[in-house]
Amino acid sequence: MELSNKKILVTGASGFIGSFIVERALELGAEVWAAVRPSTSKKYLQDARIRFIELNLGNAEALERQLSDFHTDEGAWDYVIHAAGATKCANPNDFYRVNTEGTANLARLLLQTSTLRGRFVFMSSLSVWGAVHEADYADISEQDIPQPNTAYGKSKLEAELVLAQMPELDYVTLRPTGVYGPREKDYFLMAKSIAGHIDFAVGYRRQDITFIYVRDLVEATLAALTRGTRGRGYFLTDGQVYNSRDFSDLLQKELGVRGVLHITAPIWFLRCVCTVGGWWGKLTGKVTALNMDKFNIMRQRNWRCDIRPAQEDLGFSPKVQLPQGVKESVAWYKKEGWI
């Protein structure tokens, strides 16, 4: 892959996925612009080659001004990777405001201000399809009708529908499953729990889980800049299906933890806890780890999906399966003092 002298904008650049996209694009010779807010941490954006731009995706008027100024001074980006988005919100309406309206504002104004010459890659989610094939455990495919069962998934679906209404936009949508790796904080909580000798699972019925290592997702994202069918969405996993114990067992092994208490709670118990968590989040305005969106994610039994279109169109070939990915992630946690 060659990106020398290509000008790329990455939104969500300071985040878990975005920071890895920035690093890899720089390695490939791109001129990378990282979209940030005034309060954005630049902990993982220390490379002197990174160029920063402040973009207010939630304010169309301000965003138009910012993009127009960029066009006047710098011209246009060759590609835009839109990885910014909210995954946790105290108020469900904020998912729509950030994920749907923010995406709509960015795509529309990039066209309006002529600041995008080429492709727009949108980072969506497998959560858009929700609880499809819960009963038969079949692979979710693009022929299935989306049934998002979370506010997050619904907001991503609405964003996809907005982009589909822009025929002049050259875009590709990526729908990764659970993304893990160094710097990621949600799966880290599970590692922290295992380090404390406790493994917590929910539901007694079979659960098929899929993962994708962050570096594999980054390679697919950069491939989508020049490959893939315009307007198409691609599911992304490492190509394997795991059960609910695989991840915790690998964490236990890499952490060197001898004894772990495995606790499986019934679905109704999780619902009660998440209901209280969601209520508390609304009352305090703070995002809680357990809420109704999290409940619907944890209770879902089937996360299988068909990655063949990504393999055929993007040349997607995941290099890291869960054993290696967990090993590298735990090594990073230890190096950084997280564990």
Residues of the chain with pLDDT > 90, as a percent, come to 77
- 45 — pLDDT class (breaks 50, 70, 90): very high
In this prediction, residues 186-212 reach a mean pLDDT of 91
Predicted pLDDT at 90 = 76
Predicted pLDDT at 273 = 76
| Number of domains comprising the chain | 1
Which residue would you say has higher pLDDT here, 118 or 132? 118
Is 295's pLDDT higher than 90?
Answer: no
In this prediction, residues 79-99 reach a mean pLDDT of 91
Predicted pLDDT at 312 = 98
In this prediction, residues 69-86 reach a mean pLDDT of 96
Answer yes or no: is 142 within a domain.
yes
Is 290's pLDDT higher than 80?
Answer: no
CATH number at 59 reads: 3.40.50.720
Contact indicator for 46, 115 with CB cutoff of 8 Å:
no
Answer yes or no: is 172 within a domain.
yes
At residue 130, φ and ψ (nearest 5 deg) are 60, -135
The three-class DSSP label of residue 121 is strand
**Buried/exposed 79-103: b ≥16 CB within 10 Å, e otherwise:** bbbbbbbbbebbebebbbebbbbbb
CA 287-291-297 angle, to 5 degrees, is 120
In this prediction, residues 104-132 reach a mean pLDDT of 96
CA 59-61-64 angle, to 5 degrees, is 105
Predicted pLDDT at 327 = 97
Q: pTM value? A: 0.94
Predicted pLDDT at 300 = 86
Q: What does the mean pLDDT of the chain come to?
A: 93
In this prediction, residues 143-162 reach a mean pLDDT of 95
Residue 336, Cβ density class (10 Å: 0-12 exposed, 13-18 middle, ≥19 buried): exposed
Predicted pLDDT at 270 = 73
Predicted pLDDT at 225 = 98
Answer yes or no: is 252 within a domain.
no
Answer yes or no: is 93 within a domain.
yes
- 260 — pLDDT class (breaks 50, 70, 90): very high
Lowest mean pLDDT among 203-212, 231-240, 308-317: 203-212
For residues 73 and 84, what is the distance between their CA atoms, to the nearest angstrom? 24
Answer yes or no: is 336 within a domain.
no
The alpha carbon of residue 210 and the mean position of all alpha carbons in its chain are separated, in whole angstroms, by 14
Answer yes or no: is 263 within a domain.
no
Predicted pLDDT at 296 = 75
Answer yes or no: is 254 within a domain.
no
Is 269's pLDDT higher than 90?
Answer: no
Predicted pLDDT at 249 = 95
Tens digit of pLDDT for each residue in 11-27?
999 999 999 999 999 99
Is 87's pLDDT higher than 80?
Answer: yes
Predicted pLDDT at 301 = 86
Predicted pLDDT at 180 = 97
In this prediction, residues 86-115 reach a mean pLDDT of 93
At residue 200, φ and ψ (nearest 5 deg) are -110, 125
Answer yes or no: is 307 within a domain.
yes
Q: What range defines the domain where residue 225 resides?
A: 7-180+210-239+303-319
